[in-house]
Chain A
Amino acid sequence: GQQVMQIPQYQHVQEGEDFTTYCNSSTTLSNIQWYKQRPGGHPVFLIQLVKSGEVKKQKRLTFQFGEAKKNSSLHITATQTTDVGTYFCAGPTGGGADGLTFGKGTHLIIQP
């Protein structure tokens, strides 16, 4: 079945440093979505990428979708304590009709 892999599983950074998480799918995706889950909270949708090679920015967050539409990345510039949480990527399963397949997530831990 479809697999979505994320690395790293954990990332410790000093506040102010940059952070990147990578997502790879075993199959070509029609789109990829990113979610953030704060400690003790629920996943919250951040963004959706649809086009090959697409790059989108949200303030300090930059999202990229690979040319082959099988990989994606999330980069955070100058991390802040509010960025703490787990970042998940997710892609449609079975063409989308079977929900989303989530990666295992990257836990971002920030040391002040």
Chain B
Amino acid sequence: DGGITQSPKYLFRKEGQNVTLSCEQNLNHDAMYWYRQDPGQGLRLIYYSQIVNDFQKGDIAEGYSVSREKKESFPLTVTSAQKNPTAFYLCASQEGDYNSPLHFGNGTRLTVT
């Protein structure tokens, strides 16, 4: 059954620690995205990748890093430089061209204390 898998569903970290969120897809989609969702803020784009070994900063990339070594995988690292890391993180992939709909994973809820 094809889809996007994000793990873990809930993640807790202490302030000052880097943490990596996993995103894997078996849909054979070229493009992948990371969005952050905060209450009342909608979805804001962190990073995106249109093809393997290439990625671009979104609107709120500061304090985050990504890699795209494989088509199936697009992990997001939340670094200690991110001032307000507690949020709901959503990974998405896109079939076809960039006007196509996004397919979202179930999300990871990160809490940093």
Q: Could you list which residues of chain A lie within 8 angstroms of chain B, going by C-beta atoms?
A: 1, 6, 9, 30-31, 33, 35, 41-45, 48, 88, 90, 92-93, 96-105
Which one of B16-24, B37-45, B75-83 contacts A? B37-45
Q: How far is the CA of A45 from the CA of B98 in the complex (A)?
A: 15
Known contacts A9-B40, A98-B48; A43/B90 CB under 8 A: yes
Q: Is the CB of B50 within 8 A of A97?
A: yes
Interface range, B side: 20 to 34
Q: Is the CB of B45 within 8 A of A88?
A: no
Partner of B101, one of A30, A33, A96, A101: A33
Q: How far is the CA of A1 from the CA of B59 in the complex (A)?
A: 10
Chain B residue at minimum C-beta to C-beta distance from A44:
B104
Q: Is the CB of B105 within 8 A of A88?
A: no
Q: Is the CB of B48 within 8 A of A99?
A: yes
Whether B107 is near chain A, meaning CB under 8 Å from some CB there, is yes
24 pairs across A/B with beta carbons < 8 Å?
Answer: A1-B59, A33-B102, A42-B90, A42-B105, A43-B90, A44-B104, A45-B102, A45-B103, A48-B99, A48-B101, A88-B42, A92-B98, A93-B45, A98-B45, A98-B48, A98-B56, A98-B58, A99-B33, A99-B58, A100-B102, A101-B45, A103-B42, A104-B40, A104-B41
How far in angstroms is the closest Cβ of chain B from A45?
4
Whether B97 is near chain A, meaning CB under 8 Å from some CB there, is yes
Query: Residues of A contacting B73 with CB < 8 Å?
Result: none
Q: How far is the CA of A16 from the CA of B107 in the complex (A)?
A: 31
Q: Is the CB of B48 within 8 A of A104?
A: no
User: Which residues of B62-113 are within 8 A (CB) of A?
Assistant: 90, 97-99, 101-107
Other than the given A42-B105, A104-B41, 5 more pairs (CB < 8 A) read A6-B42, A33-B102, A35-B102, A96-B99, A102-B35
Partner of A43, one of B41, B43, B59: B43
